[in-house]
Amino acid sequence: MDLKTVVRTIPDYPKAGIMFRDITTLLGDARAFRQAVDELVQPFAGQKIDKVAGIEARGFILGGACAHQLSAGFVPLRKKGKLPHKTIAVEYALEYGTDAMEMHEDACLAGERVLLIDDLIATGGTAEAAIKLLRQGGAVVEGACFVIDLPELGGAARLKAMGVPVSSLIAFEGH
């Protein structure tokens, strides 16, 4: 199945000129969801992945399914103030201002091999913060996987410059 055909495109959301790539249609299609998860984990089959880290919120859905496929644990990477236990955080820049991402301080043990999962890579700012956070927690980030890449925005290149292999299932040109 061509996964691109099950991703809904919403023009001018959240603002004029943006083509929003909505994966909820992919998630709602059992065959497409299964295929996406299988394709995300396939490059890591046979490798020892200790944990899968998912970026809030769609990364939780995909990451949980990928963790199950890889027989790995799951690490939720959340917005500041959403986790109940002691956390570590990384602040990162947004288009207008800053945000912070947190994980529990005991989510990763030193040297654990972690795979980062999210639905989409655009400029890479959030994923870069996630990698920094995982590394701060002692993890070795083995790869970053996304359903969708917007290559013109340079996010995948940004992560590769950090020494993290990047894979995506679909690329959409433009924003």
Active site residues: 58, 95
CA distance 127 to 5: 25
Quote the tokens at residue 139. 């993890």
Report strand pairing: 140-149 vs 166-171. Answer: parallel
Rounded Cα–Cα distance for residues 163 and 137 (Å): 17
Asked whether the beta carbons of 131 and 144 are under 8 A apart, the reply is yes
d(C-alpha 139, C-alpha 50), whole Å: 10
